[in-house]
Structure formats: C-alpha cells, structure tokens
Amino acid sequence: MSHYPALRMRRRRSASWMRAMLTEHRLHPSDFIWPLFVCEGEGEEQPISALRGVHRYSIDRLVEKVRQAKEAGIPCIALFPNTPEDKRHEEEALDPDNLICRAVRAVKDKVPDIGVMTDVALDPYTPHGHDGVLAEDGSVDNDRTVELLARQAVVQAEAGADIVAPSDMMDGRIGAIRDALEEAGHPNVAIMAYSAKYASSLYGPFREAVGSSDRLKGDKKGYQMNPANGGEALAEVELDMDEGADFVMVKPGLLYLDVVARTVDAFDIPVFAYMTSGEYAMIEEAAAAGAGDRDAMLMEALTAFKRAGATGILSYHALEMARRLG
C-alpha cells in the first residue's frame, strides 16, 4: 500500500491555467445593480463623508453616470433621493414631479435600455426618518403605510421605473403594490422585494447619503428583522413570493451570506443581495488603514456573493467592478 495521498488536491492548484480552468464562480458586469444617490441642483457632485468615493449627483450628472454604467455592461441602476429639507413630508413621496420621478424620467429619456429601479419606502420623506407613517403610540402604522407605499409605487411606475423595490418591511405590501400596479395599467413593472431586510447597524453611511441620519428617532427593530434570525428570512421570502414578488433580496449581504445561500436552496426565484453602505465602508476603511490590498479584498468579497448563489449584487462598487471585469 502506497503511503502517498490517493488524491492530491494541490494538483488542482498547481498552475495558474489550472486554477483558471477550475474556477467555479466568476463575477460579470451583468451581476451588478448600481445604487446611486440623487440630489437637487445642476452640476452637483457631493461627496458623502462616510462613503469614501461615493457621491450624490444632480440629475444632469446622474445621467452621465448612468451612461457610463450602460457602457460598462451594468444592466440596472437603483435610485435613492436626498430630499430637500422643506419637502420632508409623506405627500412628497406621491408627487409625480418629486426628485426621484424627475430623475427616472431623465434617465429613461437619455439612456435607453438600462433598467431603473426605485426604492419604495418613506424614509427619505418622513420628518422622523422612519420607513412609514407613525401611529398614536409612535410605532410605524403598518396598514396606513402600505396604502401610501402602493400609491408611491404607482407614481414611480408612471415616471418610468422598471422595477419597484419596497425596502420598508411592512406586512402585506408586496400584494398591495402588485394589485395597485395591475389596476393602474403597469403589469410589466416588476417588484424586487427587500424580503429579508435586517435591523442592521450597517446602514449608517446610507442614512448620511439620503440625509435621514440626524432625523431618525429610535430604531427600526419594530419592522426590520432581528439579525439573530435565519429561518425567519425564509418565511418572509415565502410570503413575498406568494404576494407576487418577482425577485427577492437579502440585506445586508456580506454578513448574511448564510441567509442568501439558504434562500437560494429553498426557492426557485432570483435572489439578490445588497452589499450595504456599512459593508462598503468596512472594505474601504480597512484598505485606507493599510489592512490589506483593496482590490483583492473587494474581488474576494464580491465573489463570495456568487459562491453563495446570488443572482446579482447591489453594490456601490458596481461601476468600478464592471470596468475591471469588462
């Protein structure tokens, strides 16, 4: 009997051509959805201090960025508004001329054939920074919020959104939005449900970007999921599928790859994952502190989403990565 190992796994890693041949998962520009922040004005490109390298763009600049995304092979962008101070009230979300609707119309007009996704939630509008309207007791009123969200989704669809993405975590909102879209004559507008959205500590830089951080009173634990729960995510996904979600999302992504993998295993539906603002900052700040090779860390982190089985990744690094990969 030989004392040699029957199978030497290292044989498979012995040359770069061998490693290339045996690679199981590869990123591609079409894996990315690029979240972009929009602000009022012209020629604006405002840095976001907690998100090194990310900016808010006025609509004219946004259109240029979306054109670059299209050229780099990114299939879809996601838009988030920084609502002006004097417009921080719920009705603003329903105004067909609000910032987000104007941005959608401009992008659809100027950059054909790229998907546009909009965020359905009230936090960029509410004076208190919560994702819905408040009940007497200070909690978010589920059913009144759902009514508003359904109207908000229709307003966004009317502006030209291809995908509406409810990120609010109210119960029953997917069904209500689906019905409202059908009734308003938008059967082809898709719903990306933020199905498993956690009450995470990793949204801080995003809240700075949309200007809700100083406003937010309390936390979102009464509607977003408990980070300690995995199985509950499957129940959320199943409900959203039953109510008509076209795709589902797990958010945050990097710290929740177990949830991504379980969802992929359990259901036949496209599963997206959001590498959130805090996860972006983890890599950028670690790299800035000299903790590792930024490009390598980024590639490794984003490839992990593919290994977990995600169909696509929402990432602030999308344009850079699409260019690197293209």
Q: Which residues are annotated as a binding site for Mg(2+)?
A: 236
Burial class, 17, CB count within 10 angstroms (exposed 0-12 / middle 13-18 / buried 19+): exposed
Residue 256 engages ligand PBG in binding (rule: CB under 6 A): no
Instruction: Tell me, yes or no, if 251 is annotated catalytic.
Output: yes
- Which one of 206, 223, 247, 305 is in contact with ligand PBG (CB under 6 A)? 206
Determine the straight-line distance between the first and last CA of the chain, rounded to whole angstroms.
50
- Which one of 92, 123, 236, 243 is in contact with ligand PBG (CB under 6 A)? 123
Distance CA 134, CA 125 (A): 13
Provide the b/e sequence for 215-253 (b: ≥16 CB within 10 Å).
eeeeebeebbbeeeeeeebbebbbbbbebbbbbbbbbbb
Residue 119 engages ligand PBG in binding (rule: CB under 6 A): yes
Residue 251, token pair as written in the block? 């958010």
Instruction: Tell me, yes or no, if 197 is annotated catalytic.
Output: yes
Residue 167 engages ligand PBG in binding (rule: CB under 6 A): yes
Residue 236 engages ligand PBG in binding (rule: CB under 6 A): no
| Binding site as annotated, residues | 236
- Which one of 50, 121, 180, 313 is in contact with ligand PBG (CB under 6 A)? 121
Residue 92 engages ligand PBG in binding (rule: CB under 6 A): no
Shortest Å distance, C-beta 34 to ligand PBG = 12
Query: Pattern of binders to ligand PBG over 128-157, x per CB under 6 A?
Result: ---x--------------------------
- Half-sphere exposure (CA, 13 Å, Cβ side) for 264? 18
Cis before 75 (ω within 30): no
C-beta separation of 285 from 275 below 8 A: no
- Which one of 203, 223, 256, 305 is in contact with ligand PBG (CB under 6 A)? 203
**Catalytic position from the list 65, 197, 220, 306:** 197
Neighbours of 200 (CB within 10 A): 18
**Applying CB under 6 A, which residues contact ligand PBG?**
119, 121, 123, 131, 167, 203, 206-207, 220, 276-278
Task: Report, as residue numbers or ranges, the catalytic residues.
Answer: 197, 251
